Amino acid sequence: MAIVLGIETSCDETGVGIVADGRLIGAALASSMEEHARFGGVVPEIAARAHLESLVPCVDAAFREAGIGPSDLDAVAVTSGPGLATALQTGLAAAKAYAFAWDRPLYGVHHLAGHVAADTLHHGPLPSRSVALIVSGGHTSLLLLGDLARDPIVHLGDTRDDAAGEAFDKVARILGLAYPGGPAVDRAARDGDPGAIGFPRAMLGAGYDFSFSGLKSAVARYVERGTPELVVPDVAASFQEAVVDVLTRKAVEACLAHEVDTLVIVGGVAANGRLRQVAAERCAAEDITLRIPPPQLCTDNGAMIAAVGGLLVAASVPPSSLGLSADPSAPLIRASLDPDRF
Ligand code: KG4
Ligand code: ZN
């Protein structure tokens, strides 16, 4: 049984989690989200400074909740990419210092593999094959997964422009909704009619790649026309419906085409109420088992990084060296990130 501490600082959340044999036993989260709100987006230097202030208190709090100490750990795992460079570096420096001081192996983890592994904390180990839809603020990918710790990750499709979360954030801005945009659109859409406006569904029937920038422009054009009957909840609901429709159709098609019976949807946008509902309906219709972690495990957190660490330890994957560096634009090829090895 492996006990792993995970540290996540790729964006504006300082996340720490402790996982024991695939089970979350302690976690702490601090966010600088409110400090970015007046800028309408994450300011990297503000995020990095906030990580610096929150890291040690979060690690201490996670240990307290778990009721264990550093001597009980088997490894330290940290997000080493992708993400904001200065933000990643604070977490990486902390993780290296802890690993060195406690004499424990260090694992550099790919942030998006962390999102996938978050689901194992809720639903248990993944089956031997699955399709994963990752929908976050910076990425939208449809993946074919084998063993997350051992096997290379196969990209079936990716976004060609904006990520799904980015589209939510930009549309929220266009609609004058609060930052962060995803949850604000989700809330506004609850009072709207998803069929009110027929926004475009880009690239349907054209493989597994995605494109959301045309949809965002269509919403902007609609709002700029300034029709007197403009109803924000209807625009929010219609935009959300277009995103959800494309995401779920392509994800289900990928499962059927690759004869995979399990779909995992992860990342911040997986917290979206309508996405969860439509995905459940379409998976049920095709006998596909749908796994979506609870909302607090969808957005960035430390437990998801600890979860990857636990899988890497269990699979006897060699740890990273203390020379590991942050890779802000790391491609998702494997769960572990060590440029010296791959
Ligand atoms: O995975 P995440 O926490 O951070 C990244 O790795 O990017 O995802 C953040 C993204 C943001 O774009 C945010 O607006 C979006 O997830 N998001 C949502 C919801 N909650 C968060 N989008 C739609 N509906 C939500 N309920
Ligand atoms: Zn994320």
pLDDT tens digits for 46-102? 999 999 999 999 999 999 999 999 999 999 999 999 999 999 999 999 999 999 999
Asked if residue 125 has pLDDT above 90, the reply is yes
Give the pLDDT of residue 342: 47
- 131 close to 124: Cβ distance less than 8 angstroms: no
Q: How confident is the model at residue 180 (pLDDT cuts 50, 70, 90)?
A: confident
The arithmetic mean of pLDDT across residues 12-40, rounded, is: 94
Residue 152's CB is within 10 A of a number of other CB atoms, namely: 13
Q: How far apart are CA 133 and CA 126, in angstroms?
A: 14
Whether 269 is in the pocket of ligand 1, judged by its Cβ within 6 Å, is yes
Distance 268 CA to ligand 1 centre (A): 3
Distance 8 CA to ligand 2 centre (A): 9
Atom of ligand 1 nearest to the CA of 139: 7
Write the pLDDT tens digit of every residue in 251-268. Answer: 999 999 999 999 999 999
Atom of ligand 1 nearest to the CA of 166: 12
Helix (H, G, I), strand (E, B) or coil at 335: coil
If one residue of 299, 300, 304 were mutated to test the ligand 1 pocket, choosing by the most ligand atoms within 8 A of its CB, it would be 299
Question: What is the DSSP code string of 101-153?
Answer: HHT--EEEEEHHHHHHHHHHHHH-SPPSSEEEEEE-SS-EEEEEES-TTTSPP
Whether 83 is in the pocket of ligand 1, judged by its Cβ within 6 Å, is no
Q: Which residue is it, tokens 């997964």? A: 145
Atom of ligand 1 nearest to the CA of 273: 26
- 29 close to 58: Cβ distance less than 8 angstroms: yes
Cα angle, residue 77 at apex, residues 164 and 251 outer, rounded to 5°: 30
Phi and psi (nearest 5°) for 325? -115, 160
Helix (H, G, I), strand (E, B) or coil at 76: strand
Asked if residue 37 has pLDDT above 90, the reply is no
pLDDT-above-90 percentage for the chain: 92
- 130 close to 263: Cβ distance less than 8 angstroms: yes
Task: Give which of 37, 280, 35, 279 is closest to 178, Cα–Cα.
Answer: 37
Interhelix angle 303-314/111-123, nearest 10 degrees: 90
Whether 245 is in the pocket of ligand 1, judged by its Cβ within 6 Å, is no
Starting at the edge strand that comes first in sequence, how are the strands of the sheet with 262-266 ordered? Answer: 154-158, 140-145, 130-135, 262-266, 289-291
> Is the N-terminal amide bond of 180 cis, ω within 30° of 0?
yes
Give the pLDDT of residue 291: 98
Q: How far apart are CA 174 and CA 132, in angstroms?
A: 30
Distance 237 CA to ligand 2 centre (A): 24
Tokens matching residue 287: 């006998």
Give the pLDDT of residue 226: 77
Atom of ligand 1 nearest to the CA of 169: 14
- 145 close to 157: Cβ distance less than 8 angstroms: no
Helix (H) or strand (E) holding 203: none
- Burial code (b: 16+ CB inside 10 Å, e: under 16) for 16-27 equals bbbbbebebbbb
The arithmetic mean of pLDDT across residues 142-146, rounded, is: 98
Task: Give which of 179, 182, 187, 180 is closest to 167, Cα–Cα.
Answer: 182
The distance of Cα 325 from the centroid of its chain, to the nearest Å, equals 21
* Ligand 2 ion: residues within 5 Å (CB): 136, 300
Give the pLDDT of residue 1: 74
Q: How confident is the model at residue 38 (pLDDT cuts 50, 70, 90)?
A: confident
Whether 186 is in the pocket of ligand 1, judged by its Cβ within 6 Å, is yes
Whether 114 is in the pocket of ligand 1, judged by its Cβ within 6 Å, is no
Task: Give Cα separations from 294 to 123, 241, 298 (angstroms).
Answer: 10, 21, 7
DSSP character for 7? Answer: E
Distance 229 CA to ligand 2 centre (A): 36
Q: How confident is the model at residue 6 (pLDDT cuts 50, 70, 90)?
A: very high
Helix (H) or strand (E) holding 97: helix 85-102
Whether 15 is in the pocket of ligand 1, judged by its Cβ within 6 Å, is no
Give the pLDDT of residue 340: 57
Whether 300 is in the pocket of ligand 1, judged by its Cβ within 6 Å, is yes
